[in-house]
Structures are given as C-alpha cells and as structure tokens.
Amino acid sequence: MEYAVLAWLWFFGLTRWSKETPWRMQKIAIVSGLICLIFAISDEVHQSMTLFRSGQPTDVALDVLGASIMLGYLLKKTDPTAA
C-alpha cells in the first residue's frame, strides 16, 4: 500500500513537468516505477543492517507489485484514447 502511494506521488509530481501525451505518460510511469524499485531495494538493505530486522527479496517484489498496480491504474485512467 505504501509503495502504491509513493508511485502515485512520483507519477503526479513528474506529470506536472510534461505534456500529457500517451508516450510521455508511459515514460513517466517507468521512471516512477524505477524510483520505487530503487527505494524498495534501499529500504531492504537498510533493514538487513538493522538489529532484529532482515531484508527479504520478497518484500521488494511485493513493494514493486503495489507500485506497478497503481501505475497501471494511473496509465489507464490518464489514457486519452480510453472510453
């Protein structure tokens, strides 16, 4: 859930700087997703260095899944060709 919100924030933050064409929106979604991926990896690395915590690759996958679902929804919602 948190990474879906993070993806939403990045997506709308980056769309403020670009024209709303489908290609641009896809590029913004990819950049937003990559930012979320990097943040998820860094979070798990940090957890692995914290006492009584462990970093798990499955947590990164779940975080990125949440971000991807949100970005897919946003792309569909902002698609001008969708009815």
Tokens, residue 59: 């947590």
Mean per-residue pLDDT for 19-24?
A: 69
What is the rounded CA–CA span in Å between residue 10 and residue 35? 8
Whole-model pTM: value is 0.85
| pLDDT value of residue 80 | 67
Task: Judge whether 29 and 22 are in contact, CB under 8 Å.
Answer: no
Tokens, residue 7: 């993806």
Averaged pLDDT of the chain: 89
Statement: residue 50 has pLDDT above 90: no
Q: φ, ψ for residue 25 (rounded to 5)?
A: -65, -40
pLDDT band at 58 (very low <50, low <70, confident <90, very high): very high
Statement: residue 62 has pLDDT above 70: yes
3-state secondary structure of 44: helix
What is the rounded CA–CA span in Å between residue 34 and residue 71? 11
pLDDT band at 22 (very low <50, low <70, confident <90, very high): low
Rg (CA), the chain: 14
